[in-house]
Structure 1
Amino acid sequence: MAETTVLRDGLHFGEGPRRGPDGRLYYSDFYSGEVHALDLETGDDEVICSIDGQLSGIGWLPDGRLLVVSMLDHTVRRLEGDDLVLHADISDIATFHANDMLVDGEGRAYVGNFGFDLHGLITEVGIPRLLEPDFEPPGAALALVQPDGSVSVAAEDLKFPNGMALLADPTGESESGNILVVAETIAFQLTSFSVDRDGSLQNRRVWADVKEFGIAPDGIAGDGDGVWVAPALQPAVFRVTEGGKITQRVETTQMCYSVAVVGDKLVCLTAPDSHPDVVKQARLGKVEVFELN
């Protein structure tokens, strides 16, 4: 039995949930090309902006302007009035669809990308092939977009860089005092970096190997010294700490692909599958909520 409450359904495929400056949950719906804002208390849902394409990761500049990833043209868009204008072009870095994004307090955006046609590969060889020891997926680079829109490579050869979270550095060694944890979906691990004051990344290391738990980490959300991880292949969400310890598991109604912590609520965006053949035409996605306290 699921432990969550379904707050909203009728999505294609929800992605990028974040607590907005106004306290509402902001999220994108891949195949409707929309960004929504959802009041977690009343259930009221508002379409904030839309595009003829696919939208994914969400964040904000320090002045409150919304940033959102436009997947198919490998850009980050900025909401100016009612228009999504070009903020940055990462097409020289992204080798397939742009995807999740984390924007820090300085307005620097870290943007991942698929790296290759994952769903095409799954159609060809099936998910079990991804779990075989000799499977070696191509790597992808993580883009760093400065507040002025300039673009550089933050890290290379990540295996499908996906969800990200900023955590306090327990060692105190990073210049900024933070580490960036990145979900490498097809490596079945969480990888961390020390964050320098200019946003550059150093000291790459495996933060948690979660393959033994059948977790292909998709979206993640920071929570104290751990992260909540959407496992992609399971109808659940896991809280993981450094070293790969599972401290909590919450059951969802269907596969969970992205998560957010908003106040005392864990928000899970779920769908029966991630493959566009399943979710692009149908509206089977849900927003599910679990009370943390």
Structure 2
Amino acid sequence: MADTTVLLDGLHFGEAPRHGPDGKFYFSDFYEKAVFTVDLDSGEKQVVCSLPGQPSGLGWLPDGRLLVVSMKDRTVRRLEPNGVLALHADLFDIATFHTNDMLVDARGRAYVGNFGFDLHQKITDDGIESLLDPSYDPPGTPLALVEPDGTTRVAAEDLKFPNGTVLLPNGTLLVAETLAYRLTAFDVAEDGSLSNRRVWADLREHVIAPDGICVDAEGGVWVATALQPAVVRIVEGGAITDRVETTQISFAVGLVGNTLIVCTAPTSDPDVVGKEHVGRLETVQVKVGDR
């Protein structure tokens, strides 16, 4: 039985649930090709912008302008006050397939992941169980760093489907390597460069392919499992401190105060969620808040 309450249903595939600097709660819907806000009390949603290239990760520049990852053309778009979605950064020379999740830090630097290869074609050809084979070694791909002015460089190499990314309270950057079944940590230099790469949590034994992640005030990391109808709270070393059952498979998480918001769907298969309105936002109260 689920521990969550369904806040909003009828989505295609929700992603990047974020608490904006304006106090509103935002999320992307891949196949609705739009970014929305949602009222966490009423569940009422409103369109913020539409993005033909398929929106994913969200973040904000210090001046409050919204950044949106455009997956299929491997760019980051910037929402201007007049409603225009301007090109902020082109990542085609760094990302080796669709771009996905994104962290934007307080200075406006964006860290952007990408698939690395055609995941859904792999699943179609070989089945999802092929991804769980310990001998399977997916292609590595870079994590991109976008400066506030839109210039780009490689932040880290050879990540296995770099996905959700957060900054811990101590300044450590964590990346969910979905197909390596781990959370990987980096130290962050003053200029945003990453170093001292290390495994923060190995999740393979829990059959967790970490997708979206968010961090609480104590440095615990909530992880969307991508394979199970649940989200888990992880601490360094990989121990699970809390588990929340959801109505469907979890793919992304966000935290507002003590309210955990989870994006769920029965599958990530675009042939299903691209056509059917089966995605949900689910909520639950948790012990440790975001501040």
TM-score by length of 1: 0.96
Give 2:250's aligned residue.
256
Aligned to 2:237: 243
Query: For 1:30 and 1:140, how far apart are their aligned partners in 2?
Result: 22
- Please give the alpha-carbon distance, in whole angstroms, between the structure 2 residues aligned to 1:49 and 1:3: 32
Q: What is the CA–CA distance in structure 2 between the aligned matches of 1:20 and 1:168, rounded to whole Å?
A: 18
List aligned pairs for 1:204-283, cutoff 5 A: 204-223=197-216, 224-283=218-277
Give the unaligned 5+ runs of structure 2.
none
Q: Could you tell me which residue of structure 1 aligns to residue 37 of structure 2?
A: 37
Q: Provide the C-alpha distance between the structure 1 equivalents of 2:253 and 2:115, rounded to a whole number of angstroms.
A: 18
CA contact (8 A) 1:76 1:86 kept: yes
Equivalent residue number for residue 182 of structure 2: 189
Query: 1:98 & 1:133 partners in 2: Cα distance?
Result: 25
Letter in 2 for 1:155: A
* Matched-pair contact (CA < 8 Å) for 1:31–1:53: no
Q: Which amino acid aligns with 2:226?
A: A
Q: How far is the alpha carbon of 1:150 from its aligned partner?
A: 0.3
- Give the structure 2 partner of residue 56 of structure 1: 56
Structure 1 vs Structure 2 CA RMSD: 0.8
**Could you tell me which amino acid in structure 1 is paired with residue 239 of structure 2?**
K
Structure 2 CA distance for aligned equivalents of residues 2 and 23 of structure 1? 28
Residue matched to 2:195 = 202
Given residue 185 of structure 1, which amino acid in structure 2 is its aligned partner?
T
CA distance in structure 2 between the aligned counterparts of 1:6 and 1:129, rounded to whole angstroms: 32
Q: Which residue of 1 aligns with 2:119?
A: 118
Q: How much does 1:276 deviate?
A: 0.3
Q: Is the 8 A contact 1:72 1:98 kept in 2?
A: yes
Question: How far off its partner does 1:79 sit?
Answer: 0.3
Moved over 4 A (4+): none
Letter in 2 for 1:180: L
Structure 2 counterpart SS, 1:186: helix
Identity of paired residues, percent?
Answer: 64
Structure 1's unaligned 5+ residue stretches are 170-177
Give 1:53 deviation, angstroms: 2.5
Count of residues in Structure 1 that have an aligned counterpart in Structure 2: 285
> What whole-Å deviation, never above 9, does each CA across 1:92-151 have from its counterpart, x for those lacking one?
001100000000000000000000001110111112111112111000100000000000
Residue 2 of structure 2 is matched in structure 1 by 2
Give the Cα separation in 1 of the matches to 2:51 and 2:76.
12
Structure 1 Cα separation of the partners of residues 30 and 44 of structure 2: 20
Distance, in Å, in 2 between the alignment partners of 1:262 and 1:162 is 21
